[in-house]
Amino acid sequence: MEPVYARLVEAVRAGTVRLDRMTSFNLDEYVGLPPDHAQSYHAFMRAQLIAPLGLDPARLHLPRGDAPDPVAEARRYEAAILAAGGIDLQLLGIGENGHIGFNEPSSSLASPTRVKTLNRGTRAANARFFGPGETVPRHAITMGIATILQARHALMLATGAHKAAAVAAMAEGPVSARCPASALQMHPRATIVLDAAAAAKLELRDYYDTVHPDGREPPLG
């Protein structure tokens, strides 16, 4: 997501995008990390968006990883999303095992925001963000799959050959807890943006190129 935020900052500075009415809700946060921890998503958002644009931090919401009761914090966060009117645009990546947010394989497709245990692969993939001797947390508070599906528009970005199998399972496989991202097949307004490497294992590529030549939305008729 770093390049996405960098382009957004450029667009705001150029005056082509305005964020003065934006309120955001991040997908997740590691359980046990306070907002001032360098690897918390609070710190990530400060570095990527809040500081570069001088945004009011009160308008960017994240779960508190250091909450004394993470389960209660998850419920509070879900209620805060609903109180704000829900999510208009849900920005998503996809894990190599098909997770979205921190909804690991086997996650309920009807899940709300809750605490999830991270599997070894996810923790290993994220270990590069932590310093020597630091342990990647075993749990996270994450928006649930049902919470994600309630967004009015979902936008998923995936790049690189290492995401190709997950992308194929998400778009063309069965809707299954084995690939949590496959739940996006049930979303009425989901847009998937891929580079060629991430799209390499799609079996229906010819059809997609017919429907969206060069990635465009052609007129009907």
Q: Give the pLDDT confidence of 98-116 residue by residue, as tens digits.
A: 999 999 999 999 999 999 9
Please compute the mean of the pLDDT values over residues 182-206 and round it to a whole number. Answer: 96
DSSP of 117-146, one letter per residue? EPPHHHHHHHGGGSPTTPPPPSEEEE--HH
Q: Which residues contact 97 (CB under 8 A, 6 or more apart)?
A: 104, 105, 119, 121, 122, 166, 179
Write the DSSP symbol of residue 84. Answer: T
Side chain identity at 142, as an amino acid letter?
A: T
Q: Domains in the chain, ordered, with CATH?
A: 2-215 (3.40.50.1360)
Query: Is the pLDDT confidence value at 121 over 90?
Result: no
Spot the catalytic one: 66, 73, 78, 104: 104
* pLDDT confidence bin for 129, thresholds 50/70/90: confident
Q: Which residues contact 81 (CB under 8 A, 6 or more apart)?
A: 25, 87, 113, 143, 147
- Backbone φ, ψ for residue 108 (5° rounding): -65, 135
**Helix, strand or coil, per DSSP, at residue 208:** helix
- Is 104 an active-site residue? yes
Write the DSSP symbol of residue 41. Answer: H
pLDDT of residue 212: 86
Spot the catalytic one: 28, 66, 73, 78: 28
* pLDDT confidence bin for 131, thresholds 50/70/90: confident
- Is 42 an active-site residue? no
Spot the catalytic one: 26, 37, 66, 97: 97
- Is 28 an active-site residue? yes
CA distance 5 to 16: 14
Q: Which residues contact 29 (CB under 8 A, 6 or more apart)?
A: 40, 41, 42, 62, 63, 64, 65, 140, 141
**Helix, strand or coil, per DSSP, at residue 66:** coil
pTM: 0.92
Query: Is the pLDDT confidence value at 22 over 80?
Result: yes
- Is 126 an active-site residue? no
Spot the catalytic one: 37, 73, 99, 103: 99
